Structure 1
Amino acid sequence: MTSATERFWSLTQRGADAECWPWLGAVSGKYGRFALGRRSEGNAQAHRFVYELLVGAVPEGCELHHECGDKLCVNPAHLRTVTRVEHFRLTSGASDTHCANGHPRIPENITYRTDGRPRCRQCQREAEARSRARQGRTPKSPSKQQKETDSSDS
């Protein structure tokens, strides 16, 4: 019987150190999936398996980020350990100039949820106003910062 490591390499197109090493095996959720052995041994993400094999354990509370952007790449030189919040910011389109509703994505208009996801302040204010209207409550008076912003626009 072949070892897990031998099976892993047979499912990888290994190239030069700077190149992506495409995963040729099973895929689950856009990432390579590698069966560790018998069914009872479970599966591992292919990029995580090779990282732990060649580099070492992923630190507690960290995830692996593909610097190359290819989720099927298993080259450990293309993987970097990051926190969950940092990983979300790297992969969430944080470079976009506007939120999904078209509001400018500028520092004054962005807050971050506890899980690291960005939140548009203007969208949040509009959602709160809609909620108040549905409940028959009066609109909340604008904040001092919002009043200053509105008066500087005129």
Structure 2
Amino acid sequence: MLSRVKGLSRHFTEESLRSYLLDRSARRADGCLIVRGYGSRRDVHQKVAGRAWAHIAAFAVFIGGYDPDLDVDQRCGVPDCIEPSHLRQVSRAENCRDRRRNDKCRNGHDREIDEATGKYRRVCRACNREAQRRWRDRQSAEVARARATFGR
């Protein structure tokens, strides 16, 4: 069973991996079992036990029946949660469909809704407009330098 988990160190047995994951995790007030992986960042998917994703290893150990062709999804939406009741296996299409799009872009602009699909636009128009303005400014400065260099 554990041999199907990609990146998992081979020296783990089911029992040793179970105790390893429980030793590296802490329970939150909302019921999530948060694992502490190799990195220092929180609220992202964590790698443990070799190079395996913690939520996939937890699914294989705590629940069993892991199918590598399906994605392991957290129902709670917390990426570093390994609580067995929050884990489920779904198809890639269903996993992508369940993702939540933010109503603001990474620069804080409000996202517009695309009239054709009824969903948020993938590209923020304000960010795109600013990026194009910066590109035009760089291009005009480069042309001005070239003209000054060659005397036109």
TM-score by length of 2: 0.51
Measure how far apart 1:86 and its partner are: 2.5
Q: Give, in whole Å, the separation in 2 of the partners of 1:99 and 1:72.
A: 23
| Equivalent pair of 2:38/2:48 in contact (CA under 8 Å) | no
Unaligned runs of 5+ in 2: 1-10, 142-152
1:27 maps to 2:37:
yes
| Equivalent pair of 2:47/2:53 in contact (CA under 8 Å) | yes
1:105 maps to 2:111:
yes
Measure how far apart 1:22 and its partner are: 4.6
Corresponding letter in the other structure for 2:85: A
Q: Look up the SS of the partner of 1:28 in the other structure.
A: coil
Pair 1:27–1:102, CA change in 2 (3 A): closer
| Equivalent pair of 2:32/2:81 in contact (CA under 8 Å) | yes
Match of 1:8 among 17, 26, 41: 17
Pair 1:5–1:32, CA change in 2 (3 A): farther
Give the equivalent residue in structure 1 for 2:140. 136
Corresponding letter in the other structure for 2:112: I
Match of 1:47 among 33, 55, 71: 55
Unaligned runs of 5+ in 1: 36-41, 113-118, 138-154
**Alpha carbon RMSD of aligned pairs, Å?**
3.9
Q: Give, in whole Å, the separation in 1 of the partners of 2:58 and 2:108.
A: 41
Measure how far apart 1:32 and its partner are: 4.7
Give the equivalent residue in structure 2 for 1:125. 129
Measure how far apart 1:44 and its partner are: 1.7
- Number of matched residues? 113
Pair 1:28–1:67, CA change in 2 (3 A): farther
TM-score by length of 1: 0.51
Q: Look up the SS of the partner of 1:130 in the other structure.
A: helix
